[in-house]
Amino acid sequence: MHKRYVAPSDATIRRAVAAVDADALDEVIGEWLFDMVREGHLEEHQLVVAVDGKSLRGAIQQDGRCVHLFAAMVQGDRAVIAQSEVEHKTNEITGFKPLLEDLDLEGVVVTADAMHAQREHARFLCEDKDADYLLGVKANQPSLLEAIESIPQGSFSP
């Protein structure tokens, strides 16, 4: 005779979900997704991870501000491999290293917008993570923008 299965109550499910460390779960899932992407990735194609922040317009905090998430996503596979909330007294610049610190980025190209065209971010990616980078440059870095614009057009292959 088989014992009849009884599904857990709503309250039990709520307690179990509430007991989960959301950050730890997010980290484990991100690592697993990155492993799956790497496993199925064709070696002749460069693995590219985009770093970007987004405000969640429908998620309003008690202080009336939108939740702002900062994430690393594998381009092409659209797998979010790391994310964190940007506290309202900080910005994405201070969250860059902590977001990528635990990821194995060796041989990966990391892309980010002009906000991250910072010497320390470039140094961190090249020296600490053994990654390559492609960072946007705009008027927020006028000397760098001017130096780039002064490079002759034929200096790089198309």
Among 113, 114, 132, residue whose Cα is nearest residue 123: 132
In angstroms, the CA 75 to CA 79 distance is 8
- Give pLDDT tens digits for 57-115: 777 777 777 888 899 999 988 899 999 988 876 788 999 999 999 999 999 999 999 99
Which residue reads 């985009």 in tokens?
A: 50
| Number of helices followed by number of strands (H, E) in the chain | 5, 5
Question: How many residues are listed for the chain in this entry?
Answer: 158
User: What pTM was computed for the model?
Assistant: 0.79
Domain ranges of the chain: 10-155
In angstroms, the CA 114 to CA 150 distance is 18
**What class is the 10-155 domain?**
alpha beta
- Give pLDDT tens digits for 15-39: 999 999 988 998 999 999 998 888 8
User: What pLDDT is recorded for position 1?
Assistant: 67
User: What pLDDT is recorded for position 143?
Assistant: 92
